[in-house]
Chains A and B, each alone.
Chain A
Amino acid sequence: MPTSFSSDRTMTQTLLLLAGFALLIGISVGTLLLVDRAAEDSRSVAHTLRVQAMMSNVLLNMRRAESGQRGYLFTNATRYLDDYNAAGPAAEEQLRLLREQTSDNPRRKSELDSVERTMNRKFAEMDRSIELGKAGRSDDARDFVLGDRGRELMSDLRQQIEKAIEDEGRLLAARSEASQHTNRLLLFLSIAGAALIIAVGGIAVMLMRRNIADREAARQELAVTNANLERIVEFRTADLVEANEEIQRFAYIVSHDLRSPLVNIMGFTSELEALRKDIFEEIGKLRAHLDELNAHAAAQATPVDTLGRDFDEAVSFIKTSIAKMDRLINAVLKLSREGRRQFNPETIDMNEMLGSIGETVAHRAAEQEATVTIDDLPAVESDRLAIEQIFSNLIDNALKYGRPGEPVKIEVTGHANAAYVAFDVTDNGRGIDPRDHQRVFELFRRSGVQDRPGEGIGLAHVRALVRRMGGTLKLKSELGKGSTFTVTLPRRWSDQTRSVA
């Protein structure tokens, strides 16, 4: 699973979430505004209705006043006059309120002005008729009323008010329309918002599910890869172990078969040596015989003992080489045999082991005035024979390669951690040239002055053993100062810790 892919997806998800939030905020703000507008709308609708009601009230009070006037004129009863007197201020009061309510509408103001003018004229007309009535001039009053001026004024007033009411009605219709529009908008916004939120949520859920599915797939893939990897490692290890065993077998067979002809070469060389006496005796006799026949030829011939020396020299070279070859073959054999040997791990008291190795070399050490110091060493669980060979070889080397005129000092120290133990074998000997630090561990290779017997096997053997024990062998050395070989071994050896060396 490419990481850019999943990061893209994370980005998308974050963006989606942000978009969802923005949408939610937008919808909330929009809703709030719309709700506010709806409230405003309904307030103005209520206002219109109130204004209409007031206008009707004005007309109603005017009619009350008129009916009071008429009743008085007709009956001369003062209670009608009371009605008339009450209705007048009520109508004016209503008009005043109306003015207050519609102060923001200049058209309404002019309308109300003309209504007021008509009202005042009507009141003047009614007052006049009542005055006539009070003065007892009933007939004059009746004629005044019959003059139809009051009726016309009332009709004007009614028309004016109705027109204003109608006008307010249109305003009401417009406001209702606006209110409905706002409500529709609100509904639409709510539905759209809900739909969008559901859509965003759905996409988010889908992405998340896909993410989870991807993650699951990746996890499974990883598990499969891990299992495969383990199998591959197993196969490789098995291959390496097999290859290693094959090399060991090969080394064994080759070295074994090489010895066979060597036995013959050595055997027949020795036979030749045995024949030498007879041959040279024969030659000696023939020479003597020849001398008698031809003194000159004998003088020119190589003396018999010179021939004998040459012969001996040749045979000696052959035998030395055979012996050397045999040692080399034996070394290969020994290494291959060590490589095939099964290890038997046991707990080894390293102090005891190094002590006994020290005793083995004590005689040689005393001759060289060498000292072997053994520190307190940690124990290790490993193969006894292998460990003994490792340290015997290292101490043997240290004793072997001292500096002339300087008594050899060997020191063995050790320390342990949780999984490994490390041992340092330090000497003050001739040291190893840095160029040869790798080479000295190779089979048949040696370093420095070749003044000591040896085939160059010891360190190769030690390294092979240490590797088989699952450890490492390190060298720190300075020419002319001394060397430190560090053997690091697992605390507990088991088949699993074995490294394929």
Chain B
Amino acid sequence: MNSKMSQEPVEIIMIEDDEGHARLIEKNIRRAGVNNRITPFTNGTDAIAFLFGPDGSAVANKNKPLLILLDLNLPDMTGVDILGRVKSNEHLKRIPVVVLTTTDDATEIQRCYDLGCNVYITKPVDYENFANAIRQLGLFFSVIQVPTAN
């Protein structure tokens, strides 16, 4: 998708440790007709390194149109930590974050929204629902305006 407001297409950062889930998510995003670049990370450390850069200030990603798909259950840290850090960073806080996880615990969902998560999707075992949700998300990607710094 090409946002009218940004010069370059939105890049999807997928932080998901389960490669199977990553593949299924990608398949369904593609099926929804979204062809943006998807950069996968299988652990929190790498994702943090990419998002915040070597100096940890995230200045490098200042004006980049990004969208984060975040799994809460990561091997090295919880997605909630990443969410908190992204949402409290001056340069990253406007990036839309879609939390995608198997947890449908009400307090966990609440906590994510409190931290500034934009969308929360539980991964149902029922594949039809799952595929549907992702496709909906694809449609959602195509209509949202990813903000840029200027």
Point out residues on A near B: beta carbons under 8 Å.
256-257, 259-264, 266-271, 322-323, 326, 337
Q: Which residues of the other chain, A, contact B27 by a CB distance below 8 angstroms?
A: 271
Q: Which residues of the other chain, A, contact B110 by a CB distance below 8 angstroms?
A: none
The 5 closest A-B pairs by CB, nearest first: A264-B20, A270-B127, A326-B125, A267-B24, A259-B102
> By the criterion CB–CB under 8 Å, are A268 and B24 in contact?
yes
Q: How far is the CB of A337 from chain B (nearest CB, A)?
A: 7
Distance, CA A266 to CA B130, complexed state (A):
10
* B 76-106 to A, binary, CB cutoff 8 A, 1 in contact else 0: 0000000000000000000000000011010
Residue among A256, A257, A323, A337 making CB contact with B125, cutoff 8 Å: A323
Distance, CA A371 to CA B130, complexed state (A):
41
Q: How far is the CB of B20 from chain A (nearest CB, A)?
A: 4
> By the criterion CB–CB under 8 Å, are B102 and A260 in contact?
yes
Q: How large is the interface on B (under 10, 10 to 19, 20 to 34, 35 or more residues)?
A: 10 to 19
Closest partner residue, chain B, to A269 (CB atom): B127
Of the candidates B73, B102, B128, the one having the most CB atoms from chain A within 10 angstroms of its own CB is B102
28 contacts between A and B (CB under 8 A): A256-B73, A257-B73, A259-B123, A260-B18, A260-B21, A260-B73, A260-B102, A262-B125, A263-B20, A263-B24, A263-B102, A263-B123, A263-B125, A264-B20, A264-B21, A264-B24, A267-B20, A267-B21, A267-B24, A267-B127, A270-B127, A270-B128, A271-B24, A271-B27, A322-B125, A323-B126, A326-B126, A337-B105
Distance, CA A313 to CA B75, complexed state (A):
36
Point out residues on B near A: beta carbons under 8 Å.
18, 20-21, 24, 27, 73, 102-103, 105, 123-128, 130-131
Q: Which residues of the other chain, B, contact A269 by a CB distance below 8 angstroms?
A: 127
> By the criterion CB–CB under 8 Å, are A259 and B125 in contact?
yes
Q: How far is the CB of B56 from chain A (nearest CB, A)?
A: 30
Q: Which residues of the other chain, B, contact A262 by a CB distance below 8 angstroms?
A: 125
> By the criterion CB–CB under 8 Å, are A266 and B126 in contact?
yes
Distance, CA A264 to CA B123, complexed state (A):
10
> By the criterion CB–CB under 8 Å, are A268 and B102 in contact?
no
Distance, CA A322 to CA B130, complexed state (A):
15
Distance, CA A261 to CA B21, complexed state (A):
9
Q: How far is the CB of A365 from chain B (nearest CB, A)?
A: 30
Closest partner residue, chain A, to B19 (CB atom): A264
Q: Which residues of the other chain, B, contact A256 by a CB distance below 8 angstroms?
A: 73, 102-103
Distance, CA A267 to CA B130, complexed state (A):
8
Q: Which residues of the other chain, A, contact B20 by a CB distance below 8 angstroms?
A: 261, 263-264, 267-268
Q: How far is the CB of B48 from chain A (nearest CB, A)?
A: 22
Distance, CA A262 to CA B123, complexed state (A):
10
Q: How far is the CB of B93 from chain A (nearest CB, A)?
A: 29
> By the criterion CB–CB under 8 Å, are B18 and A264 in contact?
yes
Q: Which residues of the other chain, A, contact B130 by a CB distance below 8 angstroms?
A: 263, 266-267
Distance, CA A259 to CA B126, complexed state (A):
11
Distance, CA A266 to CA B123, complexed state (A):
11
